[in-house]
């Protein structure tokens, strides 16, 4: 049973938490299980819950280490902890780890406070030595990457397993019911998508709009994907023309000798291309780029413009979600020709600009954002989300749906791209597991 | 950790800690290690030097240079130098602190090509001249890429306009100086320059011949650059790897457009 509002055991506060969050915090605070695994759904606000638990631990003189899989998540943790006036050390960057080690900031003696870091920062040299000195009262590992939750041993596994042996208590958040190899008989908790949607009284309405993809674009897309696959470049190509264009320019850049980051990895370079390209390959690639630039009107943009107009006529704000900033600018460009105030936000935008646009977002607003910016922002009621880039997983779809009360529109071309076809499977899963209502609208031609 | 200022709370000048690569694992060897084993380890890992550590204390550094320098005086002619222990073939490198200013350690790097970070009994990392070069390359790369991009866009704009009058007209459609006069192209910010290119009339009339027919695609390539430029030039946060990639890709794309324009 959940404790009275605002009070909880072990010095943690539950004020302003949703009932399921309070109940979970209470259970965690009262439990004496050494290893805990929480299968968490996006939007459940577990960072908030666990930061309260961390605050309670620090208040009692304990130390906490939080390990998260990305720099963005780490930043969110730091901001949350600092808002709660909890001493928090940022050990995300190697330079900070080196300085902390050299200054004696990290010692074998437990000091009250929280250290926020990433597995990558703890895996080598100074980070490994720092990790060996840590004896946390509470270790929180949020969203370990694929490698960390697979049954295959990995470097991340090894680093986390090592740190876990020195922690008094370990809490791991996972996105699925998976086995974490370095947890021993963990107490299990689950926060379901249904819990989150019900607690926040969110609707789950998704509309599918089908549009016609012109045959010449379909042919070009097929040629491009064939070429990309042949060169082992990037088989994953999004559904928009801008995404296809970007994938080809990216591969042409790599063939020209440029070193680019590996999109699937945090910080490393893209692997070498498996095949030595022939002298004509680069010309072939650029010729395809030219052909894409010379295609006629993009029906996908026309459909999004119509959906935007229709939402605004009913005073519903429009939020378009794209994977990449260039894709966001592509759709933003078309929307701006009808609505000059359309804003495009990405990770490159300043925090002030982002905060200002989010704050003024209302029934006359059209905003295009990259998907990473969705985290940590709740949209106003009635917002129409347009999924310019389809969510690649059910998890990602859930993140979008838990941002606020409204509706989502998914675009599926005829013929569909692989990403659009995969979206069908995601929607089917949502319908089965979470009462999500999916409706197909008449085809737009 | 008792609420004191943390490294991330305020800006700090280029410190030695910034030079240490993310994946650096310091490898050390004990005294008595034979030269051939040390050389094999250095070759295998691409190191130019190896600290020699007794217990937790650094007693010196074995390097290609120290080997060459000490060979004549420390190894007898009849002995096989590869079988000799490294102990008599060491050099002393300077110890610096992680919080030291990079400028202050350059003289040590100039003399020895490397410094040791930490203390004699607490070796944390090794910083080398190559690390400084890598660090400076990473720090300056966005500026170099942005320069290429901006100059390439200017070049294409200029070549797309049949006369200076036409160029002035295209610019005048979009921007004017505060005193009301027309701005010259080299006075335009990158944002203004992109605006000149993508303004509908300008694009349809001139620039589609240079940048490609799809205005939306041109905007998708150029607009992100404007935001990244602001981030770089206002020193706002670190430039992310994917932002560097966008600059690299835009530069390549523009380079090809420039070459096509030159050939036409």
Whole-number pLDDT of residue B113: 93
Distance of CA A249 to the CA centre of its chain: 25
* Shortest distance, CA B80 to any CA of chain A (angstroms): 34
Q: pLDDT for A53-76, tens place per residue?
A: 999 999 999 999 999 988 778 888
Q: Does B87 touch chain A (CB under 8 A)?
A: no
Residue B168 binned pLDDT confidence (cut-offs 50, 70, 90) = very high
When pLDDT is averaged across residues A341-353 and rounded to a whole number, the result is 90
**Residue B47 pLDDT > 80, yes or no?**
yes
Neighbours of B60 (CB within 10 A): 20
How is A21-48 classified by DSSP, letter by letter? HHHHHHHHHH---SEEEEEE-TTS-HHH
Residue A234 binned pLDDT confidence (cut-offs 50, 70, 90) = low
Nearest Cβ partner for A326 among B117, B221, B252:
B221
- From chain A, the residues in CB contact with B98 under 8 A are 95, 98-99, 101-103
Residue A119 binned pLDDT confidence (cut-offs 50, 70, 90) = confident
pLDDT higher for A214 or B236? A214
Best residue in A340, A348, A388 to probe B by mutation, most B CBs within 10 Å? A348
Strands A205-212 and B114-119: unpaired
As a whole number of angstroms, the distance between CA A92 and CA B50 comes to 27
- Tell me the average pLDDT of chain B: 90
Nearest Cβ partner for B220 among A114, A286, A330:
A330
Residue A147 binned pLDDT confidence (cut-offs 50, 70, 90) = very low
Best residue in B2, B3, B7 to probe A by mutation, most A CBs within 10 Å? B7
Whole-number pLDDT of residue A5: 46
Q: What percentage of chain B exceeds 70 in pLDDT?
A: 95
Whole-number pLDDT of residue B248: 96
**Residue B121 pLDDT > 90, yes or no?**
yes
Give the C-alpha distances (Å, rounded to integers) separating A43 from A197, A358, A370, A441, B142: 9, 18, 17, 28, 35
* Shortest distance, CA A415 to any CA of chain B (angstroms): 22
Q: pLDDT for B182-231, tens place per residue?
A: 888 989 999 999 999 999 999 999 999 999 999 999 999 999 999 999 99
Q: What percentage of chain A exceeds 90 in pLDDT?
A: 33
Which 3 state secondary structure label does DSSP give A219?
A: helix
Which B positions 88-117 lie with beta carbon below 8 A of chain A? Answer: 97-99, 117
Q: pLDDT for B54-71, tens place per residue?
A: 999 999 999 999 999 888
Give the C-alpha distances (Å, rounded to integers) separating A444 from A243, A307, A409, B166: 22, 11, 13, 41
- From chain B, the residues in CB contact with A63 under 8 A are 1
Residue B245 binned pLDDT confidence (cut-offs 50, 70, 90) = very high
Q: Does B56 touch chain A (CB under 8 A)?
A: no
Q: Does A94 touch chain B (CB under 8 A)?
A: yes
Residue carrying the six token digits 């070498």: A272
- Which residue of chain A is at minimal alpha-carbon distance from B3? A87
Question: What is the interface pTM, i.e. ipTM, of the complex?
Answer: 0.83
- Which residue of chain A is at minimal alpha-carbon distance from B26? A125
Q: Are A343 and B227 in contact, with CB atoms under 8 Å apart?
A: no
Judge: A289–B253 Cβ closer than 8 Å, yes or no: yes
Best residue in B249, B254, B256, B264 to probe A by mutation, most A CBs within 10 Å? B249
Whole-number pLDDT of residue A431: 82
When pLDDT is averaged across residues A328-344 and rounded to a whole number, the result is 94
* Shortest distance, CA B88 to any CA of chain A (angstroms): 27
Q: pLDDT for A244-297, tens place per residue?
A: 999 999 988 988 888 787 665 555 556 566 556 666 888 889 999 999 999 988
Q: Does B68 touch chain A (CB under 8 A)?
A: no
According to DSSP, the residues that pair with A367 across neighbouring strands are A319, A343
Q: Are B167 and B161 in contact, with CB atoms under 8 Å apart?
A: yes
- Residue B219 structure tokens: 């905007």
Judge: A95–B7 Cβ closer than 8 Å, yes or no: yes
Whole-number pLDDT of residue A169: 95
Judge: B249–A246 Cβ closer than 8 Å, yes or no: yes
- Which residue of chain A is at minimal alpha-carbon distance from B20? A95
* Shortest distance, CA B87 to any CA of chain A (angstroms): 24
- From chain B, the residues in CB contact with A94 under 8 A are 17, 20-22, 24
Judge: B20–A286 Cβ closer than 8 Å, yes or no: no
Whole-number pLDDT of residue A7: 46
Judge: A102–B221 Cβ closer than 8 Å, yes or no: no
Q: Phi first, then psi: give them for residue A296, nearest 5 degrees.
A: -75, -155
* Shortest distance, CA B225 to any CA of chain A (angstroms): 9
Best residue in A72, A77, A98 to probe B by mutation, most B CBs within 10 Å? A98
Q: Count Cβ atoms within 10 A of the Cβ of residue A10 and give its class: 0-12 exposed, 13-18 middle, 19 or more buried.
A: middle
Distance of CA A127 to the CA centre of its chain: 25
Q: Are B127 and B102 in contact, with CB atoms under 8 Å apart?
A: no
A217 closest CA partner among A422, A413, A412: A413
Residue A239 binned pLDDT confidence (cut-offs 50, 70, 90) = confident
Whole-number pLDDT of residue B5: 39
- From chain A, the residues in CB contact with B21 under 8 A are 94
Query: Among A110-119, A176-185, A349-358, which is the least confidently predicted range?
Result: A176-185
B126 closest CA partner among B25, B12, B7, B15: B25
Best residue in B6, B56, B207 to probe A by mutation, most A CBs within 10 Å? B6
What does the DSSP 8-state code read for residue A138?
A: E
Most trustworthy range by pLDDT among A119-128, B100-109, B250-259: B250-259
Query: Among A2-16, A56-70, A333-347, which is the least confidently predicted range?
Result: A2-16
Those residues with Cβ within 8 angstroms of residue A145's Cβ, 6 or more apart along the chain or in another chain: A69, A119, A156
Q: What percentage of chain A exceeds 70 in pLDDT?
A: 86
Under 8 Å CB pairs connecting chains A and B tally to 171
Whole-number pLDDT of residue A149: 45
- Which residue of chain A is at minimal alpha-carbon distance from B22? A94
| H-assigned helices in A360-402 | 394-401
- From chain A, the residues in CB contact with B253 under 8 A are 249, 289
Q: Are A133 and A108 in contact, with CB atoms under 8 Å apart?
A: yes
Residue carrying the six token digits 């004549």: B72
Q: Does B164 touch chain A (CB under 8 A)?
A: no
Whole-number pLDDT of residue A108: 63
- From chain B, the residues in CB contact with A102 under 8 A are 17, 97-99, 117-118, 122, 124
- From chain B, the residues in CB contact with A89 under 8 A are 1, 6
Nearest Cβ partner for A325 among B6, B21, B224:
B224
Q: Does B175 touch chain A (CB under 8 A)?
A: no
Whole-number pLDDT of residue A443: 58
- Cα Rg of chain B (Å, integer): 27
Judge: A241–B200 Cβ closer than 8 Å, yes or no: no
- Tell me the average pLDDT of chain A: 84
Nearest Cβ partner for A294 among B17, B213, B231:
B213
- From chain B, the residues in CB contact with A267 under 8 A are 22, 241
Nearest Cβ partner for B125 among A125, A286, A333:
A125
* Shortest distance, CA B16 to any CA of chain A (angstroms): 8
Judge: B99–A250 Cβ closer than 8 Å, yes or no: no
Whole-number pLDDT of residue A277: 63
Q: Are A363 and A384 in contact, with CB atoms under 8 Å apart?
A: no
- From chain A, the residues in CB contact with B214 under 8 A are 241, 292-295
């Amino acid at each position: 049973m959940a404790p009275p509002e605002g009070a909880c055991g072990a010095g943690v506060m539950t004020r302003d938490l949703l009932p399921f969050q309070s109940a979970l915090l209470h259970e965690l605070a009262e439990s004496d299980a050494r290893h805990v695994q929480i299968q968490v759904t996006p939007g459940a606000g577990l960072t908030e819950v666990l930061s309260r638990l961390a605050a309670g631990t620090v208040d009692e003189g304990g130390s906490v280490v939080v390990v998260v899989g990305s720099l963005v998540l780490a930043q969110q943790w730091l901001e949350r902890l600092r808002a709660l006036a909890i001493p928090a050390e940022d050990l995300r960057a190697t330079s900070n780890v080196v300085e902390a080690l050299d200054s004696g900031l990290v010692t074998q003696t437990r000091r009250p406070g929280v250290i926020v870091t990433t597995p990558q920062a703890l895996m080598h040299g100074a980070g490994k030595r720092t990790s060996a000195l840590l004896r946390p009262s509470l270790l929180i590992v949020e969203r370990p990457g694929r490698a960390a939750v697979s049954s295959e041993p990995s470097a991340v596994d090894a680093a986390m397993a090592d740190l876990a042996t020195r922690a008094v208590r370990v809490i791991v958040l996972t996105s699925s019911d998976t086995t974490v190899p370095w947890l021993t008989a963990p107490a299990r908790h689950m926060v379901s998508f249904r819990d989150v949607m019900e607690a926040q009284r969110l609707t789950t309405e998704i509309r599918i709009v089908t549009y016609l993809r012109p045959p010449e674009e379909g042919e070009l897309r097929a040629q491009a994907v064939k070429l990309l696959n042949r060169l082992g470049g990037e088989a994953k190509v999004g559904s928009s023309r801008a995404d296809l264009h970007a994938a080809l320019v990216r591969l042409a850049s790599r063939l020209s000798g440029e070193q680019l980051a590996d999109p699937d990895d945090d910080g490393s370079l893209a692997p070498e291309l498996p095949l030595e390209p022939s002298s004509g390959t680069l010309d072939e690639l650029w010729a395809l780029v030219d052909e894409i630039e010379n295609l006629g009107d993009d029906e996908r943009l026309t459909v999004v413009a119509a959906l935007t107009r229709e939402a605004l006529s009913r005073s519903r704000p429009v939020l378009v979600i794209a994977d990449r900033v260039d894709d966001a600018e592509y759709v933003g460009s078309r929307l701006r020709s009808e609505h000059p105030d359309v804003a495009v936000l990405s990770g490159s935008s300043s925090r002030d600009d982002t905060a200002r646009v989010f704050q003024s977002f209302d029934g006359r607003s059209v905003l295009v954002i990259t998907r990473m910016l969705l985290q940590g922002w709740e949209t106003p009621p009635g917002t129409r989300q347009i999924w310019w880039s389809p969510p690649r997983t059910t998890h990602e779809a859930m993140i979008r749906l838990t941002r606020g009360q409204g509706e989502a529109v998914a675009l599926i071309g005829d013929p569909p791209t692989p990403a659009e076809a995969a979206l069908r499977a995601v929607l089917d899963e949502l319908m089965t597991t979470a009462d999500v209502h999916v409706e197909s609208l008449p085809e737009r031609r | 950790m008792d609420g004191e200022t943390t490294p991330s709370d305020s800006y700090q000048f280029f410190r030695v800690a910034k030079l240490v690569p993310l994946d650096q694992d310091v490898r050390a060897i004990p005294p008595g290690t034979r030269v051939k084993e040390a050389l094999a380890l250095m070759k295998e890992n691409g190191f130019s030097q190896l600290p020699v550590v007794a217990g937790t204390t650094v007693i010196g550094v074995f390097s290609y240079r120290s080997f060459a320098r000490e060979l004549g005086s420390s190894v007898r002619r009849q002995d096989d130098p590869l079988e000799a222990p490294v102990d008599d073939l060491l050099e002393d490198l300077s110890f610096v602190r992680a919080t030291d200013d990079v400028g202050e350690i350059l003289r040590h790097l100039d003399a020895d090509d490397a410094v040791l970070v930490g203390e004699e009994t607490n070796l944390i990392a090794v910083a080398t001249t190559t690390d400084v070069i890598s660090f400076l390359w990473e720090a300056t790369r966005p500026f170099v890429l942005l320069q290429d991009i901006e100059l390439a866009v200017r070049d294409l704009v200029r070549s797309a306009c049949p006369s200076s009058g036409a160029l002035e007209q295209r610019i005048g459609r979009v921007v004017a100086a505060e005193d009301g006069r027309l701005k010259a192209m080299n006075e335009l910010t990158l944002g203004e320059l992109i605006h000149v290119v993508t303004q509908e009339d300008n694009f349809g009339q001139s620039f589609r011949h240079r940048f490609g027919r799809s205005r939306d695609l041109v905007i998708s390539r150029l607009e992100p650059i404007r935001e990244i430029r602001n981030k770089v030039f206002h020193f706002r946060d670190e430039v992310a790897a994917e932002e560097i990639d966008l600059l690299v890709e835009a530069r390549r794309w523009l380079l090809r457009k420039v070459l096509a324009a030159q050939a036409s």
